[in-house]
Structure formats: structure tokens, C-alpha cells
Structure 1
Amino acid sequence: MSEMKENIPLLPLRGLLVYPSMVLHIDVGRDRSVAALEHAMMNESYIFLTAQKDMRVEAPEKEDLFKIGTLATVKQMLKLPNGTLRILVEGVSRGAIKKYKEESDFTTVTVELSEDLTYKDPETEALMRTLLVYFEKYAKMSKKITEETIESVVDITEPGRLADVIASHLPLKVQEKQEVLAIFNVKKRLDNLIIRLHDEQEILDLEKKINNKVKQAMERTQKEYYLREQMKAIQTELGDRDGKMGEITELRKRIDAVGMPESTRKVALKELDRYEKLPAASAESGVIRNYVEWLVSIPWSEKTTDRIDIVHAEEILNRDHDGLEKVKERILEYLSVRQLTNTLRGPILCLAGPPGVGKTSLARSIAESLDRKFVRVSLGGVRDESEIRGHRRTYVGAMPGRIIQGMKKAGTINPVFLLDEIDKMSNDFRGDPSAAMLEVLDPEQNNTFSDHYIEETYDLSNVLFVATANDLSTIPAPLLDRMEVISIAGYTELEKTMIATNHLAPKQMKEHGLKKAQLVLKEEAIIDIIRYYTREAGVRGLERQIATMCRKVAKIVVSGEKKRVTINVKTLVDLLGKHRYRYGQAEEENQIGVATGLAYTTVGGDTLQIEVSLTPGKGKIQLTGKLGDVMKESAQTALTFVRSLTKRLGVDADFFDQHDLHIHVPEGAVPKDGPSAGITMATAIVSAITNKPIKREVGMTGEITLRGRVLPIGGLKEKSLSAHRAGLTTVILPKDNERDIDDIPEVIREQLTFKLVSQAEEVLELALDGGF
């Protein structure tokens, strides 16, 4: 049912909308709207309310307004102090604008009104009931609608009015309210509102869930805050002002700052969370704290910049070390390659040589030349695998191994890491530490080194490892294969003199508080100390003798006997006592049955006097001098070879059956072994049989076969140095060792004559006085 009304004053509304049967206060301030209201009040007529499409438009035209609006009566009008009119309007009926008419100061419209039918069929009734059910649920959930409002809505019997009232209570936007207002069909309007209420109910359900989650999170946060404050208060009362929380905060900052890999960082944070939840008195709490402390103490990304300057490195090496030319050359080669590629992984250098030759100090010089941190780990006596890899955290008092401890001490991921005395490791029931070292020293594996305590992989590929050893024979072959061995045989007399003059004497004088004006050490005195008071490959014993001398000089200066002490050959005996060693040739004159052999030991080269004595008997052989199995076999082989020379020796065939043979190597308490004494024993036996003396200035080294062939030996440089120390002038060595002569220092080569032999007869010809 519709009706037309003409000349109805138009009142545009901004941001609101009025439904039929709805009573609402409206503030009116625009001039055209005020004029329209005054016209309606004077003529006691209706007014037509319609919403603006855009509330920001100040002077709306007809295209700015919705055509569907509400016919309303003005129940009350009040003029406010600011000139605005406040009116009370009541919606009468919805209508559609058909025609606009512009008056002088306002607009009138012709409106087609539509009245809702009050007839209710079963479908309408069902829609009304459903709408009421949804509205009641919505009202209870929103808590913005009062009980009185709900009761008044329930009492409405007209379906159209019910829909309009409920729509006015919903939180809809103007556009959405306009859509409801534009539905003239009552059933469709009811159905539309049911859908909207259903959607609103779902939104409220979600809001409720979200609010509950937020509330729970807030409650948990507040609870934690409250408990933390309580804990702080308790800790303050107990005297622990910073408390555990301050420590946890500090550890968390350090975890973020050290630059560890993401996987390790997650583990550290997880352990820190566990630590935070455990009571401070718990035993596990201390274990976890130590673990996290270790994780943040190890360098993960801190790195020093290498100074690749060959000239500077060479200056440092020459400043700190006299001699050792090959070692220096190898280090400079490494630095040169590093400068060209800048990607070379650090090689595993093994400095092998007797004690006191400067292996450890050489590693320090390498670190200084590279501007790297230096860390030293002594492996002497290590017999437990956990010393290298660390203990499992399940053990009481567990801690990381020496590798991780060394990295913590270094503080950077690329230090020079000295593995001192790597040959002194041994194994027992607790594992084999040398097997654990395989991973450390393998460039293909050590980027994922695993310590039992840390458990997370650690990158050692940037570390320059330097190992030292006295005896390579005790190092397992797989471990030795991973290292580049640089042999340091020992020092010549000239090099020792230079070292004592430039390094040892100034160092000991400084340590003993002596000035240059108080002690003058002549070079001849240093040479005498080397010759008569020491017998070594290195300079450690030499330094001890210089220290002894400095102590005695210090006493003389302090007691006032002299202000200046000059040490020469004459005064040296007064300070150090009588000569301890005899310098010069091993024997003062040619001896029968006594041959001088050259031996290689862990403390450098040495000379051995092999004595042979023949006595009437029944052909027995006696070996003394604490010889090892290899030397015993060499003696048997040498004797068998000599027996094959019966005719050349000019003795009867039964000579050996009628004489007992005794082979002795003096210093019987010292174990001796090695495959290089064969020709020395054969020469001594022949000398004893033929009664020909052996030249005292001749030393020899080489193994012998049953056929008299001379086999090559090792350690020629060390043996040559010992021959020089002993005052020998001629060295007999296997022809196959000719290639090793270049390794001997030039100053030694100039003072020794090397005789190369391939058969034992050649040895006898050279060694026996008068020939063979």
C-alpha cells in the first residue's frame, strides 16, 4: 500500500539514519536544514529525513542523497546557545523521493510512502521468532542492550516495526542501515536482519575468544611480573641484589652478541629458559648455567685480521731465531701463498726435533708475524680421550676438552694453536687421545669439530695448528699423515754461539739484574761453555750454564768483591767448575776393536763407542749395553758377514769356534736401538780379529746385510752435528744418503769429509788404519 505526499521539507542527515517508529534527537545547524525545520513547524507538517552518501559534503545536492528515506514528525525543538537546533523526531513511514523542488532557502520533495502490511502468515511468524532468538543471543553477548529494551522488543507484534527497531539497535554502518531501510518487503527485511544478526553473533564469538586469549596472556604476564617482583624482593633481602634474573638478562644479551650459528643459538636460548625455570638451589641449575656460560665464552665470530707482510714476518723470525733457515723458509712460503689466495686453510705444521731447539718459541714468532693470538696446550702425559674432546655433561664436574678451552683462552676463531709434545700422548682404558686428535688436525673435518661437553659443532678450520714433537716414531701413522713435518735437527757450534750472544746472555743478565757494565762475556768463554759444559742439540743446557754463571757474578757484584766481571777461558773454570765433557775426537789415539758409531736419539745426534773383545772359548757371542732387538740383529748380521770373510782375514776356518766374542756398547744403563750400527759393529769385529786399529777421527753410520751391502739410514743431519761436536773429521755413510748431505749446514760440511760407500769392504778399507 502506497501514498504520495507533496511539498515535504527535506532534511539531509550526516552520519545517521532514522527508521519508522524510531524516536531520536538530532542537532541541526546548516541554514537550509534550519529553514526546512522552521517551515515544517510553522505549517505543522511532516519533514522528510534522508541520509547523505558522503557525510563530508557540506551543501549536498540531490545526487549526494539517498532516495529512500523516512517521513517523520517533529515532536520537539530546542534552540541551543550556539545557534544550533536540537529536535526530537519520530519516524512515521519509509518512502522514496520522486521529485525535488528548490524553494528560496530550502528544498521540498514529493515522496511515495510505503506502509508495512500487518498481516502475518506462518512464514512471517517463523521469521519473527527466529529474529527474536538471534537478537536475544546477540543482546546477551554484546552486553550493550538493556533488559528493558529486550523486553520492549519482544512485545512488538508488527513484523515491519520489529525489524526496524532491531535494526536500529545493531552496530551497522550508515550504508548498511540504508540497505535495510530500502527493503520495503517485510519478509525480505526480516530475512536480511536474521543473516546480519547471525554474522554479528559469529563476530562476537570471535571477539570473545580473542578477548579471552588476551586476558589469559595478560593474567599470565601479570602473574609472572608479580612473581619476578617477589623474587627480586626475596633476593634483595638475602643480599643478592642483581639476582638470578639479572644474570639471565646478561646471558641472553651475550648469546645475541657472540654471533654463534642459529642452531647453536636456539640450543643456548632453550637451555637458558630451562635455567630460568629451575630453582637456584637445584643441582641441575648449576650444570646448565656452566654450559650456557661456556657457550657464550667461546669465540664464534670474533676474528683477528692477518698481517700478511713477508718482509715484516722475516724480520721477526730473524730477530727471534738464529739458524733454522729451512723452517723460516717454509713459514714464509705459507705466508706468501696466503697473500696470493687469501683463502688457504691453515696447514698443520709439526716441528720435530730435540729439546731446546726453539720449537715453542718458533710458534710464538709465527703468531706474532701474523698478528694472531697465540695459545699453547701441552699434550705431554695426556692418556684420556676426554682431555681432547671433553666430558659428557652427565658426569659430575664435566667440562670441555683442551681444544675448546684453548679457543676460549684465545678469544678468536683464528689463533695460532700450539699442540706441544704431541708425541707424548698415550692411551689406556679411557680411550685413545691421538684418535681424537685426528678430527682436530684434519682440514676436511675440523670445520665440524664436536666436543662432548659443548655437543654443538665448532669450526676449527680458521685455526693455524702447530704441533711439536721430539720423536716422530711414537706418533701414530694416521695422525702423522695429517701433519707437515719440519725437522729441526739442532744447532751448530757457530749458531749456538750466536744464540748465546744475541739472546740467552742478554736474557739471563736481565733476569739476574746485571747490567752490561757489570758483566762482560767473551765469545771464547761461550765456545768453551758449549764444548766442555754441555752436550746437546739445543740450547737449554747452555742457557742453564749461563744462568749459573750470572748467579755467581751477581753474588760477586753484591758482595763488593768486584764491580765489573770479565769472563774468559781462564775465569770460566772458577765460575762453572771443572770441565764436564771432553771435547775433541772420541778417542785420543787409534784403538783396536773400538769403532765410533753415529746414533740418532730423541735429544739429537750422539756418538757411540762400540767395543769388541775376543777371548779363547767355544764360539759364544755376548751382547751387552742394554741393546734393543734391532741392534742385536745388526750384531748377528755383522758377525755372519765377517765370518764370510775368513780367507781375507787370514784366519782358520775354526777360528770362530775357538774364540768367544763380546760386543759391548758403553753406558749400559741407557737403552739403545736402531738400524744404523751394522757397519760399525762389523768394523769393530774385523779390527779385533785382525788386530788392526781403527782410525780415531772416523765416525760411521749404516746398516749391513749378510752380503755386505750398506743400507741407508735416517737422521743424517743430527748424526753429522754429533760427529762435529765429538771432533771427528771423517764420516762414512751409505751411498744412498748422498741426497741428504745438502741438508747439513754448510759450516759443518766444510769441516767434515763425507765418504760414501755401498759395500762393507769399502768401510773397512777407509776405517782401518793401514786399510783392509
Structure 2
Amino acid sequence: MADEIKKNVPLLPLRGLLVYPTMVLHLDVGREKSVQALEQAMMNDHMIFLATQREISIDEPGEEEIFKVGTYTKIKQMLKLPNGTIRVLVEGLNRAQIESYVELEDYTSVDIKELAEEELKDAEAEALMRTLLDHFDQYIKISKKISAETYATVTDIEEPGRMADIVASHLPLKLKDKQEVLETVDVKKRLNRVISLIHNEKEVLEIEKKIGQRVKRSMERTQKEYYLREQMKAIQKELGDKEGKTGEVSSLMSKIEESSMPESVRETALKELNRYEKIPSSSAESSVIRNYIDWLINLPWGIYTEDRLDLKLASEILDDEHHGLEKVKERVLEYLAVQKLTNSLKGPILCLAGPPGVGKTSLAKSIAKSLDRKFIRISLGGVRDESEIRGHRRTYVGAMPGRIIRGMSKAGTMNPVFLLDEIDKMSSDFRGDPSSAMLEVLDPEQNHNFSDHYIEETFDLSQVLFIATANNLATIPGPLRDRMEIITIAGYTEVEKAEIVKDHLLPKQLKEHGLKKGNLQLREAAIYDMIRYYTREAGVRGLERQLAAICRKAARAIVAEDRKRITVTEKNLSEFLGKRLYRYGQAETTDQVGVVTGLAYTTVGGDTLSIEVSLSPGKGKLLLTGKLGDVMRESAQAAFSYIRSKADELNIDPNFNEKHDIHIHVPEGAVPKDGPSAGITIATALVSALTGRPVSKEVGMTGEITLRGRVLPIGGLKEKALGAHRAGLKTIILPKDNEKDIDDIPESVREGLTFIPVSHLDEVLEKALVGEGR
């Protein structure tokens, strides 16, 4: 068929729609120009040209907005609808191309050229048609949106071009692809193009089908899980478990997400929570995992309290709650000052060493209060299992974290004041050495990543202010002691004890016994008598017990006898406390031969120690009694050897060791005594006994002796001086090298004592011995 030019054919632009030749289709027309074009076509020969717009959104498209290739169409029927829209039935006749536009007032007409198709009947065309039908059949089976009748209709078509058009019209193609098929006049090319398009659509449908099946399976699985979970909730509700494991897991998940734990710890917690969710509640491992997750959640990851860096306020708090103890207070204020300047200081490791009852534990509480930090205390007395510090492995039944991690969980912050009470009382056995485990805790270079066997995740202890307390530093292993800053608290003087009674102990005991300040009056003389005759200690614990006894008796008198006020004086003190327990002033009442007062340092503070020497006829036997340790026995041997070597100078019979047995005795034999500070005491007692010269009753002494008579330095001078002061001594002989330690002794004690530094035993004998000898 030759191409033919048709002039002034009315143009009907289509939006989102395309009509192929031989297609019969209903169209709804509403635009004014389109309606006029239809009416003009109906008045002429019922012929109209249908061309598709490039953009659907344009209401009045121009020449550039309309595809040039369209369909020359016959209007078979036209019907006006009530809403003003015209419904028209059209039949596509031939492809045509716009040659020119004729813009009229009411509508647009075009001159078109019909595009004739070549009729093919060769084998290639037949093969292409069969291929197209085969693909169309497969597409229908996958799609299931096209009826079998449609396929039957297509199979009856004999013209290759028409078959390509009809198949393309049934495919959900993009407007661009449909227009491309319309513009392809060559039949073979059109068949190939439609085959390619239907092949692509078939692949897309296959993928959509797989996606649909996958989504369906996922939906089925989700619905199944939902159904099973609902069933589980119902069962748990019937059994009395309202929330069930699902709610529990959800709650734990929220807590994990809300906590400030590090990412590595969070991953561990979520992993364990996933395991917990899958394990039945009846399983023993379920409770183990739950406990572990709870510990991880409850630890104060990243939670810090802000330090109160007010030095004046801190100083006031420490002074109000504790009398004396200047060194400790000074150290705490130094820490606060540096913290204020740097704001990044690691927590120091302090060890408060001293006798019982001097306020070590209560001082740690005051430090926490002055810093405005949480306070945690753990007692280490008797701890002998390493797992008490580091925790148990989770594989053990009843496993739990160590005391350090438990304390941090209880504190709720990463920077509490942590008191390690009685650190010198730890022991070790086959279960491990807890003091070795403490090395990591108390090492500032290591404790930023402390590892507990139970938690298994590193925990930062570097900001914790550790305070340890100890009575006896000698029992603390060297490596552990090396990691701590030792602050010695020697004990209190009588004056300090009296102040502590008035400011702290008495108000506390009155409150505990339900007494008011006016109910009980304690005279100062009674307080001093109570300190001297009813207690014998470095601290104030025994003193507090005696005050409690007075308060109990006062309470009974007020209730039973209806008395309003009780006054305790030095005269009626025995009515409240009974007979005196101690004799004030342990010093001898007279100068005696062979009796010397030594000064000793014990775990309960400084004390006096009477050393007696007696001579009896014999063959030079040296007898030592009084439960003495090896060091004191060696001191006695050294003193004995020195005196033998200096017998002539000391006016002693050189053969005294062949004529006399010498008995050295230290009273209170049930109490073990040992230490390197009794050398000059024993030597003085020996010289006094051998020469017959008495020793001054007011002199106490301490110091070790060498075989050459040199006096060596000792430790604990402050404690010994306090003991001497309590015993009523007036003079203390001490090694020359310890002269520098006199400044540490409280001024009230120094005023009542005379200190005589010596470097040789000759000086000791000169000051201690009085009168003439034999």
C-alpha cells in the first residue's frame, strides 16, 4: 500500500494512552478542544487522528509535546455522558505520521501521511510469530492477568504486524516502549522488538514471583511466631506468669540500651541476652545467664559523681568530726587542691595504719563526706580466698563477682571512696592468695582495666579513692604495701581523748540512750579519771564503752528514781564504773636495782615494759623468761656480751659470769613480746643488777644495742612517747638518730617529757643510773 497524504484531519491528543491499528477501544474525552475535534470529525467522515502526548500533565499540548507518529482512526460511536464527558468508541485503521499542523479556533487539525506496512509470508516471519506466541503463552501463565480467550484470539491472527500490535497492547509496558512499537513500521523489526519486550516483562514477573514467595514465607513465619508467642503468653498467664520471658527480655533489652556501658560490653550483654531468650526457663543455664546480665546492667558504667572541691568546707567537715589527725587531713586537702587544678587526678591509694579505736574507719567516712562521694566499706579480715577479690568463674555453681565489683555495683558510681578495712588481716591457703589479687586493685598503673573473673570485662577503678586500714603493717606483704601511701595514726593523748569525749562520744552516747544534754553532766576531772584508771589504750573504743556504761546507769536512775539530772564527778565515778581497773602511772614508785622501764610498740599502741634482772650464786647461766621472741633474746645476748667486754670500765667483777646465774625476766609472760628496741633497756638492767646502782624510776628508754655499745634507731617513737606519758614517766632516753621524730609527738606530750638522745650505752648509763653501787 502506497503512502497517502490526508489533509485537515482533526487531532485528538491522548494522555497516557495509545491506540494501535485494528484495535477497538472506548475513550472518555473531556477537554474542550478534543470535544470540538470529535464533533468536527462526526460532521465530516467520522475520521480522526489519535496521537499520544509526551507528558500527561499538560492540558493544552503544543506541537513539541505530541508524538509525531499516531493512528488514523474511525469513530464508530459517540455518547454524551451526564457529567459532560463524551464517551467514544474508536477503531484504529493505519499508522500515520503528522506532516503539518493547522491551528483552528476551536480545535487542531493536521495533515498526515499514512505509513503502509509490507505484507510478509516468509518462513522468518512465521518463526518470529511462533516465538512471540510461545513467549506470550509463558507470560500469560506467569502473569495470570490475561484470559485464555485473549491468547486464543491472538493465535488466530495471521498478519505478523497485527499480531505484534495486539500482543504489545496487552503488555504493561511503559508509554515510551508502546510508542516505539507504534513507530516501528518494519514488521520483522516490530516482531523482534515485541519479543524482546515480552521477554523482559517475563523476567520481571519471575523476579516478582520469587520476591512475592519470599515475602509470603517471611509473612507466614512472622505470623507463625506471633501466633506462638501469643499462645505462650496465654499459657504463662494461666500459670500465673503475667509478663513471661518475652516481656522480661524486652525489659532487659531496654535497660542495656539505656545504660552507658562501653560498646564491647554492650555487645557481650546483647549476645548473652540472645542466648537467654532461646534457652528454656527451666534450664539451669538460664538463671546463670540472667544473673550475669543483671550484674552487667547494674554496674555503674560511665556514671561519676562530681567532687565537691571546696577546701574550706572539706577542712571544716574533717575538723568537726575528728580531733587531731593533722597529717591525714592535710593529705586529703592536698588531693582536693590538685584535683581542682588538674581535674584528672587518679585516685590515690591511702593506708591508715594505727592501733584499734583511733578513728581510721570513721575518718574514711568523713573523707567521703568532704568530697561528696559515695562511701563503700568492705572488711578483709579473715579473707583467704582469691575469688573473694576477683570473683568466681561463671562455670562454678553459685558463682558471683568479687567484693570489689560488688562494692562498685552497690556504690552506683565509678568514683566512690572505697574503704578496705583490716587489710593486714588477710591470709592465704590452697584457694589462693587474696593479697596478691589486691595488687591489681591497688596499683594506679593497672586498675584502670581491672578484670573480674565473673564479669570478664575490664572495669575502670582508676578514679576510685581507695583507703585501706591496718593495725600492723608488718603482716602486709611487701609488694602490696609498696603500692599504698602509708599514713600512721599513732593514738591520742589524754587531752585529745578528753576533747573527743566532750565533742563526739558523749553526745553520741546520750542520743543512743535516749538522754538529753541536761540529764547527764560529766565533770572534766571525772573524764580524766575515766581515761587514766578505766582504760588503757591508744584509741577511744574502750572509753566509749565506759561512757555507755555511765549512760545506762544514768538512764536507769532517771526512770526508776525519777531523777532529772545526774552528775558524775571523780568522787562518785566508781559508783558508775566499779573499782579502778588500772593503776595510773605504770612507772615504779621507787628507784630500784635491776629494774628498768622500757618502751614498746604494740598493735594496740605504745606501752611500757618492765624488765627485771636478778643475780643468784651459780656458774654463769643466762636465763630469759617472759615469752620473749628471738629478736629480744638476741638483744639480751648482745647486751650480755657487751657488759662482759666492758666489765673493768663499768666497775664489775670480770668473772661475774663464773660466779652468778643471771635471770632476765619480762613480766606479763602470757603476752608475746618481740622487737629490736629492748637492747639498751636489758643492758641497763644488767649493769644495775651487777653494780648495785638503782635505776631512776622516772626514766623510760628505747633503743637497740650493738656489741660495741652503739645505740641504733628504732620505730614507733610517737606511740612509745604516748605510752610513756600515760604511764607517768618524766624522761625518755632515745637513740640520737630518732631525734628528728620528736617533732611528730603532740605538743601536750612533749611538754610533760624530757627527751635525752644518746648514741652510746655509756650515755644511757650515765643518765639512767642513780646513787652509789656496791
Indicate whether the TM-score tops 0.5.
yes
Q: Tell me which amino acid in the other structure corresponds to 2:97.
A: A
Deviations 1:712-765 (A, max 9, x none): 111111111111111111111111112211111111111111111111211111
Cα displacement (A) at 1:492: 0.7
Higher mean Cα deviation, 359-368 or 261-270? 261-270
Alignment match, 1:723: 724
Deviations 1:214-257 (A, max 9, x none): 32332222222212211221122122223332222222222222
- Rate the CA distance shift 1:87–1:586 in 2: closer, same or farther, 3 A: same
Alignment match, 2:486: 485
SS of match in other structure, 2:763: helix
Cα displacement (A) at 1:533: 0.7
Separation of aligned partners in 1, 2:199 and 2:635: 107
Separation of aligned partners in 2, 1:771 and 1:220: 112
Q: Tell me if structure 1 keeps the 8 A contact 2:118–2:186.
A: no
Alignment match, 2:697: 696
Matched, 1:294 2:295: yes
Q: Tell me which amino acid in the other structure corresponds to 2:326.
A: E
SS of match in other structure, 1:241: coil
Higher mean Cα deviation, 98-107 or 573-582? 98-107
Alignment match, 2:533: 532
Cα displacement (A) at 1:652: 3.8
Cα displacement (A) at 1:436: 1.4
Alignment match, 2:146: 145
Matched, 1:6 2:6: yes
Q: Tell me if structure 1 keeps the 8 A contact 2:586–2:608.
A: no
Cα displacement (A) at 1:286: 1.3
| Long gaps (5+) in structure 2 | none
Higher mean Cα deviation, 362-371 or 17-26? 17-26
SS of match in other structure, 2:657: coil
- Rate the CA distance shift 1:326–1:24 in 2: closer, same or farther, 3 A: same
Match runs of 1:30-179 below 5 Å: 30-179=31-180
Cα displacement (A) at 1:126: 4.2
Q: How many residue pairs align between the two structures?
A: 772
Q: Tell me if structure 1 keeps the 8 A contact 2:69–2:95.
A: yes
SS of match in other structure, 1:63: coil
Q: Tell me which amino acid in the other structure corresponds to 1:217.
A: S
Cα displacement (A) at 1:482: 1.5
Higher mean Cα deviation, 17-26 or 383-392? 17-26
Alignment match, 1:243: 244
Cα displacement (A) at 1:77: 1.9
- Rate the CA distance shift 1:126–1:676 in 2: closer, same or farther, 3 A: farther
Q: Tell me which amino acid in the other structure corresponds to 1:5.
A: I
Q: Tell me which amino acid in the other structure corresponds to 1:418.
A: L
Matched, 1:339 2:340: yes
Cα displacement (A) at 1:682: 1.1
Alignment match, 2:358: 357
- Rate the CA distance shift 1:107–1:722 in 2: closer, same or farther, 3 A: same
Separation of aligned partners in 1, 2:181 and 2:690: 136
Q: Tell me which amino acid in the other structure corresponds to 1:421.
A: E
Alignment match, 1:763: 764
Match runs of 1:300-699 below 5 Å: 300-560=301-561, 562-699=563-700
Separation of aligned partners in 2, 1:255 and 1:187: 68
Cα displacement (A) at 1:355: 0.6
- Rate the CA distance shift 1:146–1:673 in 2: closer, same or farther, 3 A: farther
Alignment match, 2:16: 15
Q: Tell me if structure 2 keeps the 8 A contact 1:9–1:39.
A: yes
Separation of aligned partners in 2, 1:360 and 1:575: 29
Alignment match, 1:225: 226
Alignment match, 1:742: 743
Cα displacement (A) at 1:120: 4.5
Separation of aligned partners in 2, 1:455 and 1:771: 76
Cα displacement (A) at 1:413: 1.7
Higher mean Cα deviation, 243-252 or 374-383? 243-252
Q: Tell me which amino acid in the other structure corresponds to 1:172.
A: L
Cα displacement (A) at 1:345: 1.4
Separation of aligned partners in 1, 2:389 and 2:175: 77
- Rate the CA distance shift 1:656–1:107 in 2: closer, same or farther, 3 A: same
Alignment match, 1:24: 25
Deviations 1:54-88 (A, max 9, x none): 22221222222110111222222222111211112
**How high is the sequence identity, in percent, across the aligned residues?**
67
Separation of aligned partners in 2, 1:470 and 1:212: 78
Cα displacement (A) at 1:332: 1.0
Cα displacement (A) at 1:356: 0.4
SS of match in other structure, 2:468: strand
Cα displacement (A) at 1:122: 4.6
Cα displacement (A) at 1:2: 4.3
Q: Tell me which amino acid in the other structure corresponds to 1:526.
A: I
Higher mean Cα deviation, 192-201 or 325-334? 192-201
Separation of aligned partners in 2, 1:709 and 1:195: 116
Higher mean Cα deviation, 569-578 or 93-102? 93-102
Separation of aligned partners in 2, 1:452 and 1:464: 23
Q: Tell me if structure 1 keeps the 8 A contact 2:261–2:301.
A: yes
Q: Tell me which amino acid in the other structure corresponds to 1:139.
A: I
Cα displacement (A) at 1:46: 2.6
Separation of aligned partners in 2, 1:295 and 1:21: 77
Higher mean Cα deviation, 520-529 or 193-202? 193-202
- Rate the CA distance shift 1:118–1:623 in 2: closer, same or farther, 3 A: farther
Please report the TM-score for the alignment, with normalisation by the length of structure 1: 0.97
SS of match in other structure, 2:743: helix
SS of match in other structure, 1:24: strand
- Rate the CA distance shift 1:187–1:623 in 2: closer, same or farther, 3 A: farther
Q: Tell me which amino acid in the other structure corresponds to 2:353.
A: A
- Rate the CA distance shift 1:561–1:578 in 2: closer, same or farther, 3 A: farther
Give me the CA root mean square deviation.
1.8
Separation of aligned partners in 2, 1:652 and 1:2: 163
Cα displacement (A) at 1:509: 1.4
Aligned structure 1 segments of 4 or more residues deviating by more than 4 angstroms: 120-123
- Rate the CA distance shift 1:476–1:192 in 2: closer, same or farther, 3 A: farther
SS of match in other structure, 2:571: helix
Separation of aligned partners in 1, 2:440 and 2:490: 29
SS of match in other structure, 1:245: helix
